[in-house]
Chains A and B, each alone.
Chain A
């Protein structure tokens, strides 16, 4: 079992470390003429200190377990990426079909008929966006 508070400290710690190492790569300047590196270094160091306090507090406090369900978020992300790839290459209509049919896998029940109806409605909405609001999304 992974403790939730420990996981929190680890996630935020990695985040702060990434920005700290990134910030060290830019000119720091001096206090009277701060360069682009100074501010990110200050902020990410502050974050690191907070994370350490958090980690300290998380010690021995394992009451809450981390619940992480990779399935649904993976399906949602796959649907979004498929949408982008299709919208770039073939157009919005195919993209909407992919988005709806892939993301629906995450729902409780899967129905081809219902998905088809949703797709039809969304294509009409997309056309309305394109024609009425001038959104440059190629639908067909």
Chain B
């Protein structure tokens, strides 16, 4: 009954006029910006982060959460209507867009909205029961255990976001190194600052995020040079009863899958969507229709998406370790507001924690009541040509970077990261793991140094503790499995090239030497 009591306490906080307003504004603005082509949740949150600076802590967090869900929903709308996918809505492109082609856009949008609501509700129940318990477990964690946990997080995120362990892990390390810029906390020695005074406090996260995601994305879209065709179809939102009945089982299945996968390190919306979609393809009564615009294909993934987006708050708020790039950004926002997420957060700021949990559900209601009916007006945003849009987005990137420290130097830093992010994108590296590495880097170093001091410089200290030893074993198994897989794939390629014929294999040899 504790959870019920706590939730009631949370609603008391979330239901003040101010907080309701912040939640509504967050959902509204988040959806609007999330709808814009080329702006996923990461770019949206980093762009809108400065809006929250002048707001008190509880309101700011509630608004940020609202922005996040709004952006997520806006993404799936652009995926369903125009097949413009972002990281968070790849699966919605499949059946959602098929439904649009069949003239059922309204039904698809309604399904996505209702399923998100169901997914969110289930996830909030999970969150309110599990987060406090997990917070207690995390008190058992020492510095070595935190190091192991972060490394595991890096590996999982690398694997999930880029599909290539090596590439993703390299990006995590790049992020960790970028996090080294600034004054060393222990000794006060400035590191990698190039004697520039504005780098003494380090690079700020908003500059990294806006540069690597905002500016690099804009340039990528400019390079592509394609004009997005605006959506002009008719939207009929209200489904028939048989259609509505088809949503429920699939959405419930998606909610459970999403809730579980959201908690795991490296998990989160993307992997949850794919898992839910796969489950629907296997177990749904209408599995034959999936892939050709079935309601289930939209409902399951939307519910999983939303559920995972919420339960991925659990590791952040109970252990203090973000498990994906979006949560890393959220963590930075928490810290800007003077709140250190971690095991003590629930005890120290119960009003913030439970208020945030309750406001998540309120945000869900807003999404359902505001966004679903209003969606047709928002789609008209796409009629604004990109030539008008992108100078404005650039301007907001400037304002966003400037407002962190009220310093023009930060805009230059953002521009520098824009170039860096663009180069990374062109050489085929996804900058999302970089962001996680950047946020966790200082924490990793701190815990690494502490662990070394505790074990008196003995590296075996990492394997002496049960938690860290277990985590390192998992890491080892994971890496071995990857190496074996790569080796096998390489051998298979070589075998096929041999059977294809001597000409090809000779060409292959030529390239080798």
Contact = CB atoms under 8 A, between A and B. Distances in A.
A45 B448 CA distance: 16
By DSSP majority rule, is chain B's interface helix, strand, loop, or mixed? helix
Contact of B187 (A35, A61, A108): A35
Contacts of A68: 423, 426
Interface in A49-85: 50-51, 53-54, 57, 59-62, 64, 66-69, 72-73, 76-77, 79-81, 83-84
B391 A134 contact: no
Given A19-B180, A44-B177, A60 B391 contact: no
A122 B392 contact: yes
B403 interface: yes
Nearest to A34: B449
Interface stretch (B35-43, B76-84, B218-226): B218-226
A109 B387 contact: yes
A87 B180 contact: no
By DSSP majority rule, is chain A's interface helix, strand, loop, or mixed? helix
B174 A15 contact: yes
Interface residues of A, number: 76
Interface in A86-106: 87-88, 96, 99-100, 103-104, 106
Contacts of A62: 511
A89 B212 CA distance: 27
Interface in B492-513: 508, 511-512
Interface string B170-184: 100110110010001
B394 interface: yes
A98 B426 CA distance: 27
Interface in A11-25: 11-12, 15-16, 19, 22-23
Interface residues of B, number: 66
B408 A114 contact: no
Contact of B173 (A43, A83, A115): A43
Contact of A99 (B395, B457, B508): B395
Residue with the highest number of chain A CB atoms closer than 10 Å, among B392, B424, B512:
B392
Contacts of A26: 184, 189, 191
A104 B429 CA distance: 27
Contacts of A22: 191-192
B51 to A, nearest CB: 8
Contact of B426 (A19, A43, A66, A99): A66
B394 A11 contact: no
A129 to B, nearest CB: 6
A76 B448 contact: no
Contact of B166 (A15, A50, A115): A50
Contacts of B427: 4, 7-8, 11, 66
Interface stretch (B26-34, B317-325, B414-422): B414-422
B253 to A, nearest CB: 38
Contacts of B2: none
B459 A31 contact: yes
Contacts of B390: 103, 106-107
Contacts of A115: 391
A136 B406 contact: yes
Contacts of B180: 19, 39-40, 43
26 contacts: A4-B426, A5-B428, A7-B426, A15-B174, A32-B456, A34-B448, A34-B452, A36-B187, A39-B445, A40-B191, A47-B177, A50-B169, A59-B512, A72-B222, A76-B222, A79-B391, A80-B418, A83-B411, A99-B391, A99-B398, A100-B391, A103-B391, A108-B227, A111-B387, A133-B54, A135-B399
10 smallest A-B Cβ distances: which pairs? A32-B457, A31-B457, A107-B387, A60-B511, A8-B427, A36-B184, A80-B415, A60-B512, A47-B173, A72-B222
Given A30-B457, A108-B387, A121-B392, 10 more contacts: A8-B427, A23-B191, A32-B455, A32-B457, A61-B511, A76-B218, A80-B397, A80-B412, A80-B418, A83-B398
